[in-house]
A and B are shown apart, each in its own frame.
Chain A
Amino acid sequence: MANVIKLKKGLDINLKGKATAKVSAADVSKVYGLVPDAFWGMKPKVVVKEGDEVKAGDALFVNKLHPEMKFVSPVAGKVTLVERGDRRKVLSVQVEAAANQQYVDFGKKQVNSLNAEQVKAALLESGLFGFIIQRPYAVVANPDDQPKAIFVSAFSDMPLAADTNVVLKGHEGNFQAGIDALGKIAKVYLGLQPGSVVANTKNATVTEFRGKCPAGNVGVQINHIDPINKGEVVWTLGAEEVVFIGKLFNEGKVDLTRTIAVAGSEIKEPQYKQVLVGAKIGDIVAGNVKTEQKVRLIDGNPLTGMKTNEDAFLLAHSTEVTAIPEGDNADELFGWIAPRFKNFSVSRSYFSWLQPKSKEYVLDARVKGGHRHMIFSGEYDSVFPMDIYPEQLVKAIIAGDIDRMEALGIYEVAPEDFAVAEFVDSSKVELQRIVREGLDMLRKENE
């Protein structure tokens, strides 16, 4: 029986348009694009030229600081564009998919016969190492580090997030192989929700989490299982990426096919789609977006995701694409006093507390208030299930006080851990941006 940890703090936001369990293949995109920015903290060095032919699994760019760390093409085809922005920053490397998909053969391997170095080398070569995120700093892991442990959260309770049970169904074998492989590098901890399809995973310390969002955040789970101290490094991975790793060893190829949720109030038929990393957002949502009002497409879930558009590419870590109303023409009158029955709020100055928990809300992308200094206290704390003072930490970051950031536990957090706090904040402070800046500041200082 797994350990059970119950969390009291948090907030479940029940949005309309949750994906039904229907899974179908998305339209094949003509062009796929790998976006370096999705691998935060890595400096890309492009190793292909426009016109090169690549197989699925061939490197498109490598990490400048660790050239052995490759980032590989999800498809076979011809490199059509290395898209650059200001100061020649690489925005994406685009590959036109060939009719016949060929995969680079990395060779089937018995995970049990490998040692840590061999697993690491295989991950670096196949481009899967880049999916590992380390803490501190919430950036792409450094292959030279020996992590204290590897944490995998096999569920997300963010609004509209993909249900990992749907995503992992049928992939349990590869998931186990992936866990086995990671176990060669360090001790593996697996965080689960009740009723998980991978509850019987071996070679990992399994912990069941019960509580509200963000209990599925790996950072919250680490904080309750084995908090990170200064000088320690842990690695984290999403559940589906563990399947990628398992597939690499079981089948000898890199298959970056994800089962993502396409969800949200502005999606006609919310469902799951099988798509490759780097697919065009437009192809994923083709014909499935409502057109009555302006829609905001989000790469990811509405709390931690990023605004995207139909021409953009699915980011490497995304497990869902969501669509909500933009709402920038709402012109809502007297928001400070009107009852606003349709709105959702943790504050009982609205009426959502009277509604049954099953009521689903349509929330648009408005910030819904002016930006202020932090006025009301305890707002972040009530939705921040970690042994950290979130408000004080954010203030230390704003002040640029590095010693205090360290003392208050910045090593343990990632921007996503502040997502629910950012949602409930009545002063509308951009917490995730601030935390990201704090982490980057600290990393620059320490390296």
Chain B
Amino acid sequence: MGLKKILDKWKPTFSEGGKLSAFGSLYDAAETFFFVPNETAKVRGAQIHDAIDSKRSIFFVVIALIPAILFGMYNIGLQHSIYTGACAPDACPCADIWGNFLYGLGVILPKIVVSYAVGLGIEVAIAQWKKEEVHEGFFVTGILIPLIVPVNCPLWILALATAFAVIFAKEVFGGTGMNIFNPALVTRAFLFFAYPSMMSGDKVWVNGNYIDCINGAPAVDAVSAATPLGQLAAGDPVTASPMDTIIGTIPGSIGETSVIAILIGAVILVWANIASWKIMLSTFVGGALMAYFLRYDGAQNFEWWEQLTVGGFCFGAVFMATDPVTSPRTEGGKWIFGFLIGAMAIIIRVLNPGYPEGMMLAILLMNVFAPLIDYFFVQANINKRAKRAKK
């Protein structure tokens, strides 16, 4: 095989002592990207292994995100068209689907490139420093980050936040598999608290022109568009219909608006056994219960169950809460974890006047509690064993 020969030929150059050994981890990454490692089992231990590896599992999460990404591109264009008047707000779907999509593609692509370039650059450098293989975890984080920021988030801030998250939320803990907080959400939290004007309000959700999304809004003639959550927080009636919020043709962070696109992703994740259906389900149950108890009066034109369709609730429940590293490791713990995320997200939304959206904070908060939840389940097992021994 030609490719294999080329890789083999370059191997000594990148190995310890070779001219380009400083890029050894990059070479390893390329090699394992193309080929399944030929490493065979040791003398002792299982001699055969399941074909699944972390690379495949993690890329399946990226695949599951594709519907949300594609819809996000379309929606960016759509919101832009509505703003420019090319498309009437209530004439959805807008006639020029391809035009909208391409516009969105042009806006989101730089964000994806920046996120991957910064994050992977840091990961490769650290892997090289630690003389380890580059782990693939960032492939998910790197695509999640552009999806959970407003469209007008400037690239330099995105780069800064990504670097912060990769270094301080992940690598200082030991890299993929060792982190306490979901790195993508730490990125968002960093932006949220360091650059609040870029992350909330009415001026960040619709892209007026390409330049805004490079330099950052609000530009001089910033576009004003409120998300349903923004309207709720302000005490205004919600203008988007339930159908709009389920399809996703509303202003919001890039990947979070379409319930349908996210649920397609959820089906892929659950079907492939990659994300925990227990966490997803219990998040929705917790959110629904709390939304029912804390429902708005009729004046805001908003049914309790619509809470689950707006903002980042679905996206968080499906792609963020189910991060296996930062969620509980015990099966029982997953139920509690999800339930509390759902409930907490709605509590923050409804009861806290400062934050219209609560999903990010709810998940980060429960990330902290995940080890504690596990502790109770594991301790119950330990106590049972100790009790048995005393008899």
Contacts and interface: CB of A to CB of B under 8 A. Distances in A.
Contacts of B43: 306-307
B244 interface: no
Contacts of A307: 41-44, 47
Interface residues of B, number: 62
B49 interface: yes
B55 A336 contact: yes
Tell which of A298, A327, A335 has the most Cβ of chain B within 10 Å.
A335
Contact of B45 (A331, A381, A389, A422): A422
B378 A331 contact: no
B177 A328 contact: no
Contacts of B42: 307, 430, 433
A408 interface: yes
A17 B51 CA distance: 19
B53 A377 contact: no
Interface in B189-229: none
Contact of B57 (A332, A363, A374, A426): A426
A13 B48 CA distance: 10
A41 interface: no
Nearest to B57: A426
Interface residues of A, number: 75
A368 B38 CA distance: 7
B381 A388 contact: yes
B1 A363 contact: no
B1 A331 contact: yes
Contacts of A328: 38-40
Interface in A302-335: 302-307, 324, 326-335
B59 interface: yes
A407 B386 contact: yes
Contact of A365 (B41, B51, B381): B41
A326 B47 CA distance: 10
A424 B52 contact: yes
A345 B50 contact: yes
Contact of A330 (B36, B45, B135, B178): B36
Interface in A386-427: 387-389, 391-392, 407-409, 419, 422-427
Contacts of A303: 46-48
B388 interface: yes
Contacts of B178: 373
A89 to B, nearest CB: 15
Contacts of B274: 347, 349, 376
A430 B45 contact: yes
B381 to A, nearest CB: 6
A363 to B, nearest CB: 4
Contacts of A373: 174-178
Given A306-B44, A334-B34, A422-B46, A407 B385 contact: yes
Contacts of A99: none
Contacts of A349: 52, 56-57, 60, 272-274
Interface string B160-201: 000000000000001111100000000000000000000000
A376 B136 CA distance: 13
B383 to A, nearest CB: 9
Contacts of B46: 302-304, 419, 422-423, 431-432
A369 B329 CA distance: 22
Given A334-B34, A366-B41, A389 B381 contact: yes
Contact of B52 (A327, A347, A365): A347
A368 B47 contact: no
A77 B69 CA distance: 75
A333 B3 CA distance: 10
Contact of A347 (B33, B57, B388): B57
Contact of A335 (B55, B60, B381): B55
A433 B45 CA distance: 6
B342 interface: no
Interface stretch (B83-91, B97-105, B320-328, B357-365): B320-328
B381 A327 contact: no
Contacts of A282: none
Contact of A423 (B48, B55, B328, B374): B48
B306 interface: no
Contacts of B273: 346-349
Interface stretch (A51-59, A130-138, A180-188, A227-235): A227-235
Contacts of A287: none
A370 B389 CA distance: 40
A70 B37 CA distance: 45
Give chain B's interface secondary structure class: loop
B55 A333 contact: no
Given A336-B59, A381-B331, A430-B45, A345 B35 contact: no
B276 A366 contact: no
Contact of B133 (A364, A365, A370, A427): A370
Contacts of A304: 46
A298 B175 CA distance: 35
A344 interface: yes
Interface in A114-169: 159
Tell which of B38, B60, B175, B274 has the most Cβ of chain A within 10 Å.
B38
A428 interface: yes
A21 B37 CA distance: 37
B35 A370 contact: no
B25 to A, nearest CB: 12
Given A423-B46, A426-B57, A433-B44, A372 B38 contact: no
B36 A372 contact: no
B59 A337 contact: yes
Contact of B177 (A375, A378, A424): A375
A348 B272 contact: yes
B63 to A, nearest CB: 8
Contacts of B325: 375
Tell which of B45, B57, B378 has the most Cβ of chain A within 10 Å.
B45
Contacts of B51: 335, 340, 343-345, 347, 350, 368
Contacts of B53: 335-336, 368-370, 426, 428
A331 B35 contact: yes
Tell which of B34, B48, B133 has the most Cβ of chain A within 10 Å.
B48
B274 to A, nearest CB: 7
A43 interface: no
B48 A392 contact: no
B4 interface: yes
29 contacts: A296-B47, A303-B47, A303-B48, A307-B47, A331-B38, A333-B35, A344-B50, A345-B52, A346-B52, A349-B273, A367-B37, A368-B50, A369-B49, A369-B54, A369-B55, A370-B37, A375-B137, A381-B331, A387-B384, A389-B330, A389-B377, A407-B385, A408-B381, A409-B381, A425-B50, A426-B52, A427-B54, A428-B53, A433-B42
Given A407-B382, A424-B50, A433-B42, 15 more contacts: A307-B47, A333-B35, A335-B36, A345-B50, A364-B48, A366-B37, A367-B49, A373-B177, A373-B178, A374-B177, A377-B324, A377-B329, A389-B377, A392-B329, A408-B385
Interface of A: 13, 15, 159, 227, 229-231, 296, 298, 302-307, 324, 326-337, 340, 343-350, 363-378, 381, 387-389, 391-392, 407-409, 419, 422-428, 430-433, 436
